[in-house]
A and B are shown apart, each in its own frame.
Chain A
Amino acid sequence: MTVSLISLILLCPLAAFAVFGLLGLANRRFPRQDYLSTAAMLIALACSFLLLREVVPEPETHTVNWVSLGSVTFSMGFYLDSVTAIMLIVVTLVSSLVHIFSMGYMHGDPRYPRFFAYLSLFSFSMLFLVVSDNLLGIYIGWELVGLCSYLLIGFWFEKDSAANACKKAFLTTRVGDVGMFIGMMMLFTKFKTLSLYGEGGIFALAASQLTTGDMVWLSIAGVLIFCGAIGKSAQMPLHTWLPDAMEGPTPVSALIHAATMVAAGVYLTARMFPILTETSSLVIAYVGGITALVAATIAIVRFDIKRVLAYSTISQLGYMMLAIGAGSYVAGLFHLTTHAFFKALLFLGSGSVIHAFHAMHAHGHDDEHEHDDSDAHGHEHNEDSDSGHVLGSEIPPDQDMRNMGGLRHKMPITFITMLIATLSISGVPFIFSGFWSKDAILAGVLGRAMEWNSVHHYILFIMALSAAGITAFYMFRLIFMTFFGEPRNQEMHDMAHESPLSMTVPLLILAVLSLPVVNTLWFNAAYVKPPPQPHLHAPAHAYIAPDTKGGTGLAFSLFGVSEAVAAEENAGHDTHGTHADDGHHGHGPAHTIAMVLSICVAGLGIFLSWLFYHRRTLSAESVTTTFRPIYDLFWHKYYFDEFYDGVLVALTVWKARLFAQFDGTVVDGIVNGVGVVTRDILAAFTGAFDNRVVDGIVNRVAQVTWAVGGRIRRIQTGAIQTYLFVVLAGIVLLILIFRAL
């Protein structure tokens, strides 16, 4: 049953891709293809729901041999546990909604069928990644989603910016993937398998075989695998591709670059939880924390609605990483889920706004082009705009928040739904899911800090908290600039209209999902069991006296989160007896503190935003001028792109040129050198001859040989007495030489 369900889930999108992809390639339209693709996704969604019930009580693994060699076998298979089940639902659900949304949004695009084919392929790949029970399978899915991301970002490849962005996305993530692959190689070399679960899986072997001596390499391996997540989930420093990826159609941004693919990194990290060591966890946490904070700060100063959301996504993904790095497994995944819904909603909402603002998609992509061109001239007044060599720095007018405002009346549904999502992401308490997940993370980090008395985790907590505040600030900035106030561009404003049903319905559904409805699954401790972390050893000095079983926060009693957290901690501690077998619960007070603080910072953020952008009591401009350097830093996204463009790309190209030159000069040069030596030695006998400069190894050798031949020719003067001289002198020489020998 499980197997067939999973197979069905995978096959539905795959079949849709295979059939429609080929047709799309041939530019043939299959009638009602969009409906069929969507139907396939819906079937998958239904199956996912069915599967939800199959999970309990034990995780299941089903494998087949994929590559069998003499001594090792690489298997492919499904691993189904609660996390998988929930992820399946998230993916299929968001995907189905995006499919529906796209029917409206992409309507009229000349490559409309191909779009759906790509979406199907993406869904398949993502689902494959989610259900894989082994690293190789995950890697395969991982790369395939990367491919889809590439194809979809570059969907409107006529735009140079899109073409650049898709390449950048693929390459940047591939850098991370290589790290991941190296990590896989390390694990494979040690364990001779890439399966994660079961008797012979990596986790079991790692738990039973590894000793403290292995911790160094295991940490390295963990960090390397996390590199893949850095790339895919756009963590610092490989995050720059994600904002550029907004060149893709907005539904794509919602599905791939907000809800699912970018979250795959988090998923992977969570999957690798059992082999994360102290060090690798800390690295993950720091990367996540820094990303969360930095991306949030960048988001403050963006004007492109999609890029604000992109940075927001980066920031939120950082959050999740932070959570997992800090050991809050459930909280991280929980946030992944909630984020998937509200961020998808935000993107789709922004898509709706863009759609409303600009009916470009109805006119086809050529139209877009004209706009692109005109933008280049029309927006020169935008002095903040970068010089242009940084990818995606020019803002399309239909995405520029400075052109918006007052849309709440024109697009009520979009407004309401987006507001819900914003409240959710900002962490407005209690009725929005984002609050709970974010709180869980904050609490988890603080709890770990208190439990281990770890300075690191305190720093991380502060980062997370600041990021939360900033998030609230820029998200409301977005809402205020877009939906409130007066229309800033009347012409465009007049054109705006509410989106069609196919677009608003998904918005509404997602809005519902942004409330803590389905997410309760995470709170079921029996359902979600965090895996053990046998290699996590808290620093000895960090061990503090057992605290009292502190009062449980209000939230926990309300929704039963405490059980899940308790389960998590039990699991975490049970597995290594060296530590905390008394089952202390240092998190108790942490929850309360974290919740209070998070509510405070969220409120502060919203309030400031209101002051700045709605009431305009405070002037953003004056602040900008006051803190010009900081603003510049934020505006230039901490100069990451400049760094990459200026240094790395140049370095690579330089290296390539160097190699090409090397080929032409050094390799040739060596041979030339040999040639020169040969020539000179021979020249001692035959006299000097012309040194002709030639390219190429063979040329040079041939030339030298040829020249020697020519020299020999010259002895052949045609005068018979020369010949006789050579003969007789030759005789004398032969005799003398052999006499000497």
Chain B
Amino acid sequence: MTLQHYLVISAILFTLGIFAVLTRRNAISILMGIELILNSCNLNFAAFSRFVTPPEDISGQIIAIFGIVLAAAEAAVFLAIILAIYREFGSIRPNEVDTLKG
């Protein structure tokens, strides 16, 4: 259980998040990917807080908490927008939402 363990896990999560964002043809799946990314970041912060900063300094953890809150806010708005998109376009496939281009 070294720092590097956490970092590798976090890196995997980040990469998978990126992968999801790039390849999933569903807006909600993209949101999930984004959540993975944010989780990886939070995990990083928590890990660094544990291993790098002095034990009494828990600012990394607090940052992670804020990260969770922000992720929540973002998810809310994201979903609202997905709903709007679904209403307007009848689909949440991201590549079908392409009237604006060029």
Q: Report A's interface with B, CB cutoff 8 A.
A: 713-714, 716-721, 724-725, 728
Contact = CB atoms under 8 A, between A and B. Distances in A.
Contacts, number: 32
A317 to B, nearest CB: 78
B55 interface: no
B98 A728 contact: no
Contacts of A716: 101-102
A335 to B, nearest CB: 87
A718 B100 contact: yes
B18 A719 contact: no
Interface in B71-102: 94-95, 97-102
Contacts of A714: 102
Contacts of A725: 22
B41 interface: no
B22 A713 contact: no
B64 interface: no
B95 A719 contact: yes
5 contacts: A718-B101, A719-B95, A719-B97, A724-B22, A728-B22
Contacts of A718: 97-102
Contacts of A728: 18, 22
Interface in B57-73: none
B21 interface: yes
B95 A721 contact: yes
Nearest 4 CB-CB pairs, A to B? A718-B101, A718-B98, A719-B95, A713-B102
Interface in B13-53: 18, 21-23, 25, 30
B96 to A, nearest CB: 9
A716 B102 CA distance: 5
B31 to A, nearest CB: 12
Nearest to A719: B95
Nearest to B99: A718
A223 B99 CA distance: 80
A109 B97 CA distance: 87
Interface of B: 18, 21-23, 25, 30, 94-95, 97-102
A688 to B, nearest CB: 19
Nearest to A710: B102
Contacts of B30: 721
B100 A720 contact: no
Nearest to B19: A728
Contacts of B21: 721, 724
Given A717-B98, A719-B98, 20 more contacts: A713-B102, A714-B102, A716-B101, A717-B101, A718-B98, A718-B100, A719-B94, A719-B95, A720-B95, A720-B97, A721-B21, A721-B22, A721-B25, A721-B30, A721-B94, A721-B95, A724-B22, A725-B22, A728-B18, A728-B22
B17 to A, nearest CB: 11
Contacts of B94: 719-721
A67 to B, nearest CB: 64
A719 B100 CA distance: 9
A725 B101 CA distance: 16
A724 B18 CA distance: 9
A715 to B, nearest CB: 10
A724 B25 CA distance: 13
A501 B25 CA distance: 112
Contacts of B98: 717-719
Nearest to A728: B18
Contacts of B25: 721
A714 B94 CA distance: 17
Q: Which of B30, B95, B99 has the most CB of A within 10 A?
A: B95
A416 B19 CA distance: 118
Contacts of B23: 721
Contacts of A717: 98, 101
A716 B101 CA distance: 6
Contacts of B97: 718-720
Nearest to B97: A720
Contacts of A719: 94-95, 97-98, 101
Nearest to A720: B94
A719 B99 CA distance: 9
A720 B95 CA distance: 7
B5 to A, nearest CB: 24
Nearest to A731: B18
A734 B16 CA distance: 21
A689 to B, nearest CB: 14
Contacts of A721: 21-23, 25, 30, 94-95
A709 to B, nearest CB: 10
B82 to A, nearest CB: 12
A595 to B, nearest CB: 99
